[in-house]
Amino acid sequence: MTIKFLIFLFFVFLLYIGSSVFSFIQQYVMSSVAQRTVYDMRRDLKEKMARMPLKYYDTRSNGDILSRAVNDMDNIANTLQQSLTQAITAIVQIIGVLIMMLTISWQMTLIVVATVPLSIIIVGIIASKSQAFFAAQQRNLGILNDTVEETYGGQTIVKAFGQEKKTLVKFEEVNDDYYKAAKKAQFISGIMMPMMQFVGNLGYVAVCVGGGIFVTNGTLQVGEIQSFTQYVQLFSQPISSVANIANVIQSTIASAERVFEIMDEEEEQDMIPETIPTIKEEQGKIVFDHVKFGYSPDKPLMNDLQINVNQGQMVAIVGPTGAGKTTIINLLMRFYDVDDGAIRIDGVDTRDMTKDEVRAKFGMVLQDTWLFSGTIAENIAYGREGATLDEVVGAAKAAYADDFIRRLPDGYDTVLNEEGSNISQGQKQLLTIARAILSDPSILILDEATSSVDTRTELNIQLAMGNLMEGRTSFVIAHRLSTIRDADLILVMNHGDVIEQGTHQELLSENGFYADLYNSQFTGSQAV
């Protein structure tokens, strides 16, 4: 008897060991599958976003896009890893308990199974209601993320203008909207478990009543009824778990829909002709040939733009704020395609080249300098893949940035923070010029931005710009007309279209919009 008992204990011990091993394997497999799935989704999302047109980002907030890429992805990962694991365990338990109940009494088993359709109806009703609330919750989370990013990204301006209380009020409003949406979603989903417990108790009561009748008739023994009631509880627990998982999946569906909204967006079109023309020698000659364009079909901006720019010429783009100076740049870089006419670079229509080929011809130095978190050397080398340190230093010297870089504690290994706030605005501009010099483009796009720096830095920027522009075709977005008197061609823009073009003297002699703009600036500076 003792030996049999020990053998029994040994088998029980093996069962527990086997259960632990399989639980470990289950967790490992599901976590691997879940994380790999989300890893692939994040990669696909990043690749998709790289193919999105610029107009997509012009109409969406950074915080909402970030929320979709991070929060919604994490929600999907948690469901795949945790909820699906619980679902598999629950289904196996339901099948096992069902078999054991059938061995006791198939009639009693039918009584228990009869409660399942009621559970399915309840799950369907609650799940269908909760999905809309979960979608609202995730949408409000995106708005909250955007508010936080905007506030903390511009913390210097907020403090400078004493707007802390105002930003706090705005945050409270957005946070309250998220709280209300999340409260509704969680309340609806929280109803699921009490309802399932109620249905489970109904089944338990029905079994007790039916079991009493069967015992009275002598069909079943009291011990069998006691065992069956235990199985009923074991049966209702995984049913409740599956119902709760179905509710969690609604939250995941809401997150997945937000992710796939991006995946389903129209990509940037890049029509590649069967025969791609080759340019024997890059010269930087640009022609706008009867170009028509508008950001929306019903609101045309440019009606019949004609511009001829020869190699090495400096083209200044001037006009009041909102005149459309950036539109010229967007068309040159093929961020947007023309509606009619053509833009030709060295005789080749830009639409007959891939967008990567077009953009590789350009170097950009914009007013809003963009530097990533990394060393100064890495930021300069961003202009050309595989650049050596000597080439980086050479570009920095040509941009008059080498001197201030070497004065930094770590020199070219100095790590810039995310906003590049550990160096001055003028120094950031010199680094972007060095980056453009290293990329060695045939055409330049420059945004004149020297008004916010000291005199010495401004001089260095002007000298660096001179080195950068030498021998290259350049488009300069000018803010101070006194700096572009020597431009080979000046494009005067207003209300999105080019209204005048010519040299400085030609435009002054016409006594038109440019002359008024120039005289107003000159008079203002004289008054100061």
Q: Quick one: pLDDT at residue 420?
A: 61
Which residue, 71, 66, 42, is CA-closest to 152? 66
Spatial separation of the C-alpha atoms in residues 347 and 415, rounded to whole Å: 43
Kindly state the tokens that stand for 439: 């990329």
CA gap 332, 305 in Å, rounded: 13
Give the integer Cα–Cα distance in Å for 247 and 129: 10
Distance of alpha carbon 51 from alpha carbon 44, whole angstroms: 11
Q: In whole angstroms, give the CA distance from residue 141 to residue 138.
A: 5
- Residue 492 main-chain phi, psi, to 5 deg: -100, 120
State the maximum Cα–Cα separation within the chain, in Å, rounded to a whole number. 119
Q: What is the pLDDT of residue 277?
A: 55
For the packed helices 2-50 and 84-104, what is the interaxial angle rounded to 10 degrees? 140
List residues bridging with 288 in a β-sheet. Answer: 307, 343
Compute how many other C-beta atoms are within 10 angstroms of the C-beta atom of residue 117.
9
Which residue bears the tokens 């047109």? 53
d(CA 302, CA 326): 13
The predicted pLDDT at position 281 comes to: 59
Place of tokens 């930094």: 408
**433-446: b (≥16 Cβ within 10 Å) or e:** bbbbbbbebbbbbb
Domains of the chain, start order: 21-263 (1.20.1560.10), 286-527 (3.40.50.300)
Contact 464, 401 (CB under 8 A): yes
Strands 314-318 and 473-477: parallel
What 3 state SS string does 207-222 have?
Answer: HHHHHHHHHHHCCCCH
Measured CA to CA in angstroms, residue 433 lies from 68, 110, 329, 455 at distances of: 34, 79, 18, 18
Q: Whole-angstrom Cα distance, residue 475 to residue 376?
A: 26
Q: Cβ distance 200 to 115 under 8 Å?
A: yes
Residue 358 makes CB contacts below 8 A (sequence gap 6+) with 333, 334, 345, 350
Beta strands in 210-330 (DSSP E): 286-293, 302-309, 314-318
Query: Does residue 523 sit in helix, strand or coil?
Result: helix
Residue 527 pLDDT = 38
The tokens for 254 are 């809401």
Per residue of the chain (528 residues), what is the pLDDT tens digit?
578 777 878 888 888 888 888 888 877 888 888 888 888 888 888 888 888 887 788 777 777 888 888 888 888 888 887 777 788 888 888 888 888 888 888 888 888 888 888 888 888 888 778 878 888 888 888 888 888 877 776 776 777 667 778 888 888 888 899 898 888 888 887 888 888 888 888 888 888 888 888 888 888 888 888 888 888 888 888 888 888 888 788 888 888 888 888 888 887 776 655 555 555 555 778 898 888 888 877 777 788 888 888 888 888 888 887 777 788 888 888 888 888 889 998 888 888 888 888 888 888 887 777 788 888 898 888 878 888 888 888 888 888 888 888 988 888 898 887 666 678 878 888 888 888 888 888 888 887 655 455 667 767 777 787 777 788 888 888 777 777 888 888 888 887 778 888 888 888 888 888 888 888 766 644 433
- Identify which of 324, 332, 215, 249 has the alpha carbon closest to the alpha carbon of residue 285: 332
Q: Which of 465, 476, 406 is nearest to 434 (CA)?
A: 465
Q: Which residue in this structure is represented by tokens 């199974």?
A: 113
Burial of 281 (0-12, 13-18, 19+ CB in 10 A): exposed
DSSP string covering 314-335, please? Answer: EEEEE-STTSSHHHHHHHHTTS
Q: What pTM did the predictor assign?
A: 0.66
